[in-house]
Amino acid sequence: MLDKQEIDRRTLRSTAPSNISRRGFLLGSAGAAAGAFVLSVGLPTRAARAAGENLPAGTRVPAFLEIRPDNTVRFLSPFNEGGQGVFTAMAQIVGEELDADPATFVVENAPAGDDYKVMGPPFGRITGGSMSVRMSYDVMRRLGALARRMMLQAAAESLEVPINELTTEPGQVVHPASGQKLSYGELARAAMDLPVPDPDSITLKSPDDFTWIGKPVERLDVREKSTGKAIYSIDVKVDGMLHAAVQHAPRLGLTVGTIVNEDEVKAMTGVHSVHRLDGAVAVVAERWWNAKRAVETLDVQWNDPGADSTDKRYMPADFSTEAFRKRLANETGNGTTAEEEGDAPGVLSKADNVIEATYFAQYLHHAQLEPPSTLARFNDDGTLDIWLPNQAPEMFQGAIAKVAGLEPAQVNIHSPMLGGFFGRHFLYPQANPYPQAIALAKAVNRPVKLIWSREEEFLRDPLRPMAAVRMRASLDGEGMPEAVEIISACEGPTEANFGHNPDSVDPTAVEGLSGKSYAIPNRRIAQAYVQNPATLAYWRSVGNSMNDFIYEAFLDEMADTGGLDPFELRMRLLKDNPRLATLLRHVADLSGGWRRGPFEAKDGTTRARGIAMASPFGSHTAAIAEVSLRDGQVVVHDIWETIDPGSIVNPAIIEAQIRSAAALGASQALVEDTVYENGMPEARNFDEYPILRPDRMPRVHVGILESGEKMGGIGEPGLPAVPPAIANAVSHLSGKRVRSMPLSKIAFDS
Amino acid sequence: MELEVNDQSYEIQSDGETPLLWVIRDELGLTGTKYGCGVAQCGACSVLVDGVVTRACVTPVDSVIGSRITTIEAIEEDEVGKRVVDKWVEHQVPQCGYCQSGQVMAATSLLKETATPSEEDIAAAMTNLCRCGTYNAISAAIHDLADETKEG
């Protein structure tokens, strides 16, 4: 309920000229679209229309900052929090220039709105690609600086002193000459009536003066996440809500035929109604458990209209991953060139010592622990409120509007914290529950929360692509690589979801094969496109998650063939690249000095170490893994990994992200594999699709090297070097060359 | 049916075979306990039943009538639970946080039973899955708690 004062404030704000959305200033400031900006007092930022701004009626005018009377700072983040620590990083960056302790920030994900497209084109606003901080750093700092300036201006007026006599301390403006102090919370209302200063008049702090940027500031969300208070999409409740569960067609492309036992199911406890959807049936019930029980009881005869019936992906009844792997491995085309230097094919055709091998990357599930859900509520005014895990609110808003038959402005997207994402929550044509939730909410004329059970999620989770990569190389007389040709038979996640262009390569298919820094004079990297029946997705570190494994493991093959130590080979290939040579030395030092082994450890096990590097998402990493074999299975004891992200915001978060990425890298290297047989995934839950368990987690030792170069990403870069470091150690220890993952499917003698 | 959760008594409408998890989440509205798999694999649904960690997704509610259920919402009212939470914060354990209610419950149960657990005790008790890979931090936090008990 609104009290009169609040209504007055809103009325005032919707008519009076104020500081809201003076985008003209911000737009020119950092070469990227920047945010609208409002300061308010004790009032949620919402539905304000700035004079002179042509915004559709009914949309919320977005804003970033609200400073409350108690001096807490509510910040609406363009990026969503899913464990990567971006809420805290944003608070550090904005707080640094605003001069407000990040600990006083309350951060939420912003609603959809052009004002939050702070990354500029082409991405605008997504939480992905390890881009959040590095792509918004300047804009967010300026936002904080503008807010600080407005506080100073308001204080100058209030104290009737020249602004240049004022300074700030965290959360307050100070007039040293008189000793007077005014808190930001006291000043916020007056500051709100001031125009936003010209960004060009703002000077950002010198990094030497940073209080919070670069420091291991505690995360803002840790206590609420340790006490069950954090709210994820799956937890959201609204009045009058019903619950829904679905049973998907066993294969994509099938349609609902006869439901044999519909009446029987309708009579089950708590069932509200049974529904036929596109490729699925659903039950709406008073509680989710009743919906799930009932929908699983539905005996559906599915129709198969065949592949020609749809322009979307269709899963054939005879599809198997094993057969498809062979299909990729037998691809003989030379592919489309992604990167070329010198004449690799020519050199290889004349060489008499060609090393050849085919490497494989497997399909993977995201397996984020929070199953997908969507809560949809149509409002009396024709708008739709919708809560769902997502990494791109504006993209979802547009897609949801289409499905719901509304204008985007009528769709209020709510993006609660993500219970893990790893690339799962982008807009994928056939893998998001929102179309179903919208259809059901319409059908029952009540709010509906749809949760996909784990089984239904694993049936529709779009996969990390599979690849078969033909590697060929030749060495010179000293064992140094002279030529390398790499042809990846693969469909990339970008072309899979946004369309394949036959004339070009999907960079997300080949990254990690391309873009390597090793000085090999003749190189050709190519992609041979082979369309998949399976739906594909981005997965943490995307193409690098498979390709650095392949490249770096093959590099060890080259080293062994040429009689060079793998560390020594890499150092030689990087002799003219001081940044990466330093990185390589750093990780070696971190591990106590490079030693490949095998050697006997204190516990009597025989161990070996492997090394690998990767340069994903603007950062550079090097990893060393120490392994042994027990009962034919690989044990990873320790991983040492150094990252050089150029410059940093929060070393504690970086360390946590490297550990996290190393865990996921180890997981895919050791145990994960999505297997399809007869057009269906064999595993529908964690009992059949293992992810790394705590007893197999290596100790991860993290090094951070701040070279001062351009800021790179953090969330994903830690992953790609880990699988090849493990594989290289295992190959050396076992004498059996590892060319595919997971290692659990390879028998080793121990 | 009367169910006792966090020292409060509730009259339950759900069928007796309904998993405790869904009674807690949908009927009582306590959403700190999470659904991850429904087949007792991930442990996100862990609660304490008479002080012992239990996977609520496969526990029929009628099997715990008469027992004391503790969920994450009340964990800080438990002396051991409070220490675990504080240590989780100190070690900055959570990332996405979705599994952490269950991890905190599992750790609390372990330490209530064994104040100074061995490496094997920890490995046997801490089997909940974490996709973010916070396992190193979880391990460090529990060792820290055990060490404090030994020293204290």
Task: Report phi then psi at A677, rounded to 5.
Answer: -140, 135
Q: Which of residues 223-242 of A touch B (CB under 8 A)?
A: 223-232, 234-235, 237
CATH of the domain at B24: 3.10.20.30
pLDDT digits (tens, 9 = 90+) for A80-109: 999 999 999 999 999 999 999 999 999 999
Considering the domain architecture, whether residues B54 and B111 belong to the same structural domain is answered as no
CA distance A656 to chain B (A): 8
pLDDT at A569: 98
Considering the domain architecture, whether residues B104 and B58 belong to the same structural domain is answered as no
pLDDT digits (tens, 9 = 90+) for A584-596: 999 999 999 999 9
Gap between the Cα atoms of A466 and A564, Å rounded: 31
Query: What's this model's pTM, rounded to 2 decimal places?
Result: 0.93
Task: Report phi then psi at A99, rounded to 5.
Answer: 65, 60
CA distance B151 to chain A (A): 25
Supply the mean pLDDT for chain B. 97
Pick the range with the lowest mean pLDDT from A52-61, A394-403, A501-510, A664-673.
A52-61
With cut-offs at 50, 70 and 90, classify the pLDDT of residue A195.
Answer: confident
The conformational region for residue A285 under phi > 0 = left, psi -120 to 50 = alpha, else beta, is beta
Q: Length of chain A in residues, anyone?
A: 750
Mean pLDDT of B30-57: 98
Considering the domain architecture, whether residues B28 and B61 belong to the same structural domain is answered as yes
Considering the domain architecture, whether residues B21 and B69 belong to the same structural domain is answered as yes
Residues A70, A202: contact at Cβ < 8 Å? no
pLDDT at A10: 33
In which residue are the tokens 């390398």 written?
Answer: A484
Gap between the Cα atoms of A672 and A687, Å rounded: 12
Answer whether A288 sits within 8 Å of B22, measured CB to CB: yes
pLDDT at A63: 54
pLDDT at B152: 67
The tally of CA atoms less than 13 A away on the side-chain side of residue A270 is 23
More confident residue, A285 or A150: A285
Mean pLDDT of A617-621: 98
Kindly tell me if the per-residue pLDDT of A34 is higher than 60: no
With cut-offs at 50, 70 and 90, classify the pLDDT of residue A750.
Answer: low
Residues A79, A127: contact at Cβ < 8 Å? yes
More confident residue, B111 or A62: B111
Q: What DSSP line would sit under B50-85, residue for residue?
A: TTEEEEGGG-BGGGSTTSEEE-GGGGGGSHHHHHHH
Q: Is A162 exposed, middle or buried (0-12, 13-18, 19+ CB in 10 A)?
A: exposed
Kindly tell me if the per-residue pLDDT of A535 is higher than 90: yes
User: DSSP strand E in A81-232: where?
Assistant: 105-109, 167-169, 172-175, 180-183
CA-wise closest residue to A612 among A576, A655, A583: A583
Answer whether B127 sits within 8 Å of A686, measured CB to CB: no
Kindly tell me if the per-residue pLDDT of A475 is higher than 80: yes
Among B18, B85, B97, select the one facing A83 at the smallest CB separation: B97
Q: Cis link prior to A598 (omega < 30° from 0)? A: yes
pLDDT at A441: 98
CA-wise closest residue to B57 among B25, B105, B100, B10: B25
Q: Given B74, B95, B126, which residue is the final one in a domain? A: B74
With cut-offs at 50, 70 and 90, classify the pLDDT of residue A598.
Answer: very high
User: DSSP strand E in A631-725: where?
Assistant: 633-644, 676-677, 680-681, 699-704
Task: Say whether A474 sits in a helix, a strand or coil.
Answer: strand
Considering the domain architecture, whether residues B122 and B139 belong to the same structural domain is answered as yes
With cut-offs at 50, 70 and 90, classify the pLDDT of residue A701.
Answer: very high
β-bridge pairing A384-387 and A411-414: parallel
**What distances in angstroms separate CA A536 from CA A423, A504, A688, one per listed residue?**
11, 18, 20
Considering the domain architecture, whether residues B143 and B93 belong to the same structural domain is answered as yes
Q: Given B40, B58, B74, which residue is the final one in a domain? A: B74
Residues B26, A243: contact at Cβ < 8 Å? yes
pLDDT at A15: 29
Pair of tokens at residue B152:
């204290």
* Cα radius of gyration rounded to whole Å, chain B: 15
Q: Given B50, B74, B98, which residue is the final one in a domain? A: B74
Size of interface A-B (CB pairs under 8 A): 176
Gap between the Cα atoms of A455 and A248, Å rounded: 10
Gap between the Cα atoms of A640 and A702, Å rounded: 6
pLDDT at A323: 98
β-partners of residue A358 are: A470
Residues B86, B121: contact at Cβ < 8 Å? no
Angle value at C-alpha A32, between A26 and A37, nearest 5 degrees:
35
pLDDT at A122: 84
Considering the domain architecture, whether residues B56 and B23 belong to the same structural domain is answered as yes
Residues A196, A129: contact at Cβ < 8 Å? no
Gap between the Cα atoms of A160 and B150, Å rounded: 61
Considering the domain architecture, whether residues B61 and B79 belong to the same structural domain is answered as no
Considering the domain architecture, whether residues B146 and B81 belong to the same structural domain is answered as yes
Q: Taking CB atoms and an 8 Å cutoff, what residues of chain B touch A663?
A: 130, 132-133, 135
Q: What DSSP line would sit under A429-467, residue for residue?
A: TTS-SHHHHHHHHHHHTS-EEEE--HHHHHHHPPBBPPE
Q: Is residue A367 within 8 angstroms of chain B, CB to CB?
A: yes
Answer whether A694 sits within 8 Å of B123, measured CB to CB: yes
Answer whether B44 sits within 8 Å of A232, measured CB to CB: no
Which amino acid is residue A576, in one-letter code?
Answer: D
Considering the domain architecture, whether residues B61 and B14 belong to the same structural domain is answered as yes
More confident residue, A195 or A62: A195
Q: Length of chain B in residues, anyone?
A: 152
Gap between the Cα atoms of A583 and A589, Å rounded: 10
Task: Say whether A379 sits in a helix, a strand or coil.
Answer: coil
pLDDT at A193: 72
CATH of the domain at B98: 1.10.150.120
Considering the domain architecture, whether residues B56 and B10 belong to the same structural domain is answered as yes
Domain that holds residue B119: 75-151
Pair of tokens at residue A331:
């691809």
Considering the domain architecture, whether residues B46 and B85 belong to the same structural domain is answered as no
Counted domains in chain B: 2
